[in-house]
A and B are shown apart, each in its own frame.
Chain A
Amino acid sequence: MSASEQVIQLEKTDPKFVEEIIEYGSKIFGREHMETITACFQCGTCSGSCPSGRRTAYRTRLVMRKALLGLKDEVLSSEELWYCTTCYTCYERCPRGVRTTDIIRVIRNIAAKSGRMKEQHKRVARLLIRFGHAVPITDEFKEIRKALGLSELPPTVHSYPEALDEVRKLIKIMKFDQMVGYQESG
Chain B
Amino acid sequence: MAKKYAFFLGCIMPNRYPGVEASTRYLMTRYGIELLDMKGASCCPAPGVFGSFDLYTWIVIAARNLCIAESLGADIVTCCNGCYGSLQEANHLLKENKELREWVNEILKNIDKEFKGTIEVKHVIEVIEHDIGLNRIRSEIERDLSGLKVAAHYGCHFLKPREVRRHEHPERPTILDRIIETTNAISIDYRDKLMCCGAGGGVRAGSIDVSLDMTREKVQNMMRAGADCLTTPCVFCHLQFDRGQKEIEDRMGVKLGLPVVFITQLIMLALGASPHVLGLQYNIIPVRPLLRKIGL
B223 at the interface (CB under 8 A from A): no
**Pick from A99, A135, A159, A174: contact of B60, CB under 8 Å:** A174
- Cross-chain contact B49 with A160 (CB below 8 angstroms): no
Stretch at the interface among A5-13, A38-46, A70-78, A106-114: A106-114
- Cross-chain contact B38 with A82 (CB below 8 angstroms): no
Against A, the Cβ 8 Å flags (1 = close, 0 = not) of B1-44 are: 00000000101101110110110010000000000011111110
Residues of B close to A118: CB separation below 8 A: 206
What distance in Å separates the Cβ of B225 from its nearest Cβ neighbour in chain A?
18
Complex Cα distance A76/B8, Å? Answer: 34
Nearest B residue to A82, CB-CB: B206
**Pick from B40, B47, B200: contact of A160, CB under 8 Å:** B40
The interface centre, meaning the residue of B12, B49, B103, B207 with most chain A CB atoms within 10 A of its CB, is: B207
- Cross-chain contact B18 with A141 (CB below 8 angstroms): yes
Residues of B close to A170: CB separation below 8 A: 57, 60-61, 64, 107-108, 110-111
**How many contacts A-B (CB < 8 Å)?**
221
**Pick from A87, A148, A166: contact of B22, CB under 8 Å:** A148
Complex Cα distance A121/B205, Å? Answer: 6
Q: How large is the interface on A (under 10, 10 to 19, 20 to 34, 35 or more residues)?
A: 35 or more
Within 8 A of A (CB), among B95-141: 97, 99-100, 103, 107-108, 110-111, 113
Q: How large is the interface on B (under 10, 10 to 19, 20 to 34, 35 or more residues)?
A: 35 or more
B247 at the interface (CB under 8 A from A): no
B203 at the interface (CB under 8 A from A): yes
The interface centre, meaning the residue of A52, A85, A136 with most chain B CB atoms within 10 A of its CB, is: A85
Nearest B residue to A106, CB-CB: B55
- Cross-chain contact B22 with A82 (CB below 8 angstroms): no
Against A, the Cβ 8 Å flags (1 = close, 0 = not) of B55-95 are: 11101110010000000000000000000000000000100
- Cross-chain contact B210 with A88 (CB below 8 angstroms): no
Residues of B close to A179: CB separation below 8 A: 53-54
B275 at the interface (CB under 8 A from A): no
* Given A88-B157, A154-B14; A133-B42 close (CB under 8 Å): yes
- Cross-chain contact A108 with B43 (CB below 8 angstroms): no
Stretch at the interface among B144-152, B191-199, B249-257: B191-199
**Pick from A29, A84, A89: contact of B160, CB under 8 Å:** A89
Residues of B close to A159: CB separation below 8 A: 39-40
- Cross-chain contact B205 with A132 (CB below 8 angstroms): no
Which of A's residues lie within 8 Å of B, judged by CB?
A: 25, 27-30, 51-52, 55-56, 82-89, 91-92, 99, 101, 104-106, 108-109, 112-113, 117-118, 120-121, 123-125, 128, 132-138, 141, 144-145, 148-150, 154-160, 162-164, 166-167, 169-171, 173-174, 176, 179-180
Which of B's residues lie within 8 Å of A, judged by CB?
A: 9, 11-12, 14-16, 18-19, 21-22, 25, 37-43, 45-57, 59-61, 64, 93, 97, 99-100, 103, 107-108, 110-111, 113, 156-157, 160-162, 170-171, 194-196, 198-203, 205-207, 210-211, 213-214, 217, 277, 279, 282
